[in-house]
C-alpha cells in the first residue's frame, strides 16, 4: 500500500530535480528517514539537515571552489535527502520501498513514542530485517525504556543509538554524518 501524502513531506523548495543524487556533485549524499508523530519535529530535522538558503547548484559550486572536485567521497561535505513518516508502519513502508528501489536510507531517526501505533523500539525491530545496515537513532524525552531493555529487544547495539530530546542541531547533524558514513561503509 503506498504511503499517504501526509506521511511523506519534503522541504517546499526541494523539487524532485533538486533532491540530491549520488555522484552528481561534490557533496556526499546521505539518505535519512525521520519517524515521529509530531510534524514540528519533522520541521526541526528539515531545518537542521536540509536548510535551503541556496540551490544545490550554488552549493556544488561553492563546495568545488572550497574543497576541489577531486576529494574522496568520504571527505566531501554532506548533503541530506530526508523522508518523513508519522508512524512506525509508515517508516517501515518507506524503508522497504527504498531498499527495493536500490536507494536505502543510511540513518533513521525514530521517536520512541508514536501513538497510536508502534513505539520506536517495535519500529526498530521491524526495520532491522529490512535493512541490516540502517543506523537507527531512537529519540526520546522520556525514560520509557532502559538501554539494556532496548538492546534485549533488538539483540544488538551495533546499529542502534540514542538521542535525548531536546537535542542540539550540531548533535543531530554530526550523528547523521557519522552514522550515514558508517552505513555506507557497511554496504560496500
What is the count of structural domains for the chain?
1
In the prediction, which pLDDT does 27 show? Answer: 58
What confidence score (pLDDT) does residue 95 get? Answer: 99
**pLDDT at residue 143, rounded to an integer:** 78
pTM for this entry: 0.76
106-150: pLDDT as tens digits: 999 999 999 999 999 999 999 999 999 999 999 998 877 888 888
Query: What's the mean per-residue pLDDT of the chain?
Result: 81
- How far from chain centre, in Å, is Cα 171? 13
6's enclosing H/E stretch is none
Q: Which three cell numbers stand for residue 110?
A: 525514530
- Residue 141 inside a domain? The answer is yes
Q: Is residue 80 part of a domain?
A: yes
Q: Which residues contact 109 (CB under 8 A, 6 or more apart)?
A: 32, 33, 34, 35, 36, 45, 137, 139, 163, 172, 176
Name the phi and psi angles at 161, rounded to 5.
-135, 165
**Percent helix, strand and coil across the chain, each to the nearest 5:** 45, 15, 40
Burial class (CB in 10 A: 0-12, 13-18, 19+), 10: middle
17 in a domain, yes or no? no
Which residues lie closer than 8 Å to 49 by C-beta, 6 or more apart? 32, 80, 82, 172, 173, 176
Mean pLDDT, residues 94-103: 98
Q: Does residue 6 sit within a domain? A: no
The CATH number covering residue 88 comes to 3.40.50.2300
Those residues whose C-beta lies under 8 Å from the C-beta of residue 6, and which sit 6 or more positions away, are: 86
How confident is the model over 81-96, as a mean pLDDT? 98
**172 lies in some domain:** yes
Q: Mind listing the pLDDT tens digit for each residue in 43-82?
A: 999 999 988 755 555 655 665 666 555 544 444 578 999 9
What confidence score (pLDDT) does residue 188 get? 85
- Domain-located, residue 115: yes
SS3 of 44, please?
A: helix
Residue 10: inside a domain, yes or no? no
Domain that holds residue 135: 36-187
Angle 80-82-83 from CA coordinates, rounded to 5° = 165
For cell 526541494, the residue is: 14
- Domain-embedded: residue 71: yes
Rounded to an integer, what distance in angstroms lies between the CA atom of residue 20 and that of residue 135? 20
Amino acid at each position: 500500500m503506498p504511503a499517504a501524502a501526509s506521511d511523506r513531506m519534503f522541504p517546499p523548495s526541494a523539487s524532485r530535480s533538486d533532491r540530491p543524487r549520488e555522484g552528481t556533485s561534490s557533496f556526499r549524499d546521505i539518505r535519512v528517514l525521520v519517524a515521529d508523530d509530531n510534524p514540528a519535529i519533522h520541521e526541526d530535522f528539515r531545518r537542521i539537515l536540509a536548510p535551503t538558503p541556496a540551490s544545490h547548484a550554488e552549493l556544488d559550486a561553492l563546495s568545488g571552489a572550497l574543497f576541489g572536485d577531486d576529494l574522496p567521497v568520504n571527505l566531501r561535505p554532506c548533503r541530506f535527502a530526508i523522508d518523513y513518516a508519522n508512524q512506525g508502519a509508515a517508516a517501515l513502508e518507506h524503508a522497504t520501498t527504498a531498499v527495493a528501489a536500490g536507494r536505502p536510507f543510511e540513518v533513521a531517526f525514530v521517536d520512541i513514542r508514536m501513538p497510536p501505533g508502534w513505539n520506536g523500539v517495535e519500529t526498530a525491530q521491524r526495520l532491522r530485517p529490512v535493512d541490516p545496515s540502517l543506523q537507527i537513532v531512537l529519540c526520546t524525552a522520556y525514560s520509557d525504556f532502559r538501554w539494556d531493555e532496548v538492546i534485549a529487544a533488538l539483540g544488538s547495539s551495533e546499529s542502534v543509538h540514542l538521542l535525548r530530546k531536546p537535542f542540539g542541531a550540531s548533535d543531530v547533524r554530526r550523528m547523521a554524518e557519522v552514522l550515514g558514513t558508517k552505513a555506507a561503509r557497511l554496504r560496500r
